[in-house]
Amino acid sequence: MFQVDKSTWHIYDPDNILSSRREGFDTGILRFGGDIHPREDLMQFTHRLSNCIVDFGYYGCEINLDGFYAVSVVDGHMEEGWQSPMERLESRDFLAGITHVQAMLEKYT
């Protein structure tokens, strides 16, 4: 999908999205549980020095895929950082969400 500097970022990628090809990506590999609850943990990147967190998740119903992908940038030093992210980008398209992840990783590296 894209390269991330592992010496700069701690990577959480349970679906192995980063090792997938971007062209023809099938969202069927994502482990949606067919649940009405959101899948908020698709990928997360934590900057090893600044503790800045770039989080990528799906928010919406997994049954009919009526939702959106969101990238949130959070100050990991703040106890309530998730309540007021530094930045948040949303898209209905998975690959647009991946583009947002790349942009935020570049911006906060």
Q: What is the pLDDT of residue 51?
A: 92
Q: Is residue 64 pLDDT above 80, yes or no? A: no
pTM, full prediction: 0.84
Q: Is residue 9 pLDDT above 60, yes or no? A: yes
CB 37 within 8 A of CB 12: no
* Coil vs helix vs strand at 61: strand
Q: What is the pLDDT of residues 71-106, one digit of tens each?
A: 999 999 998 888 899 999 999 988 899 999 999 999
The continuous run of DSSP H or E covering 105 comes out as: helix 94-108
For residue 59, the one-letter residue type is: Y
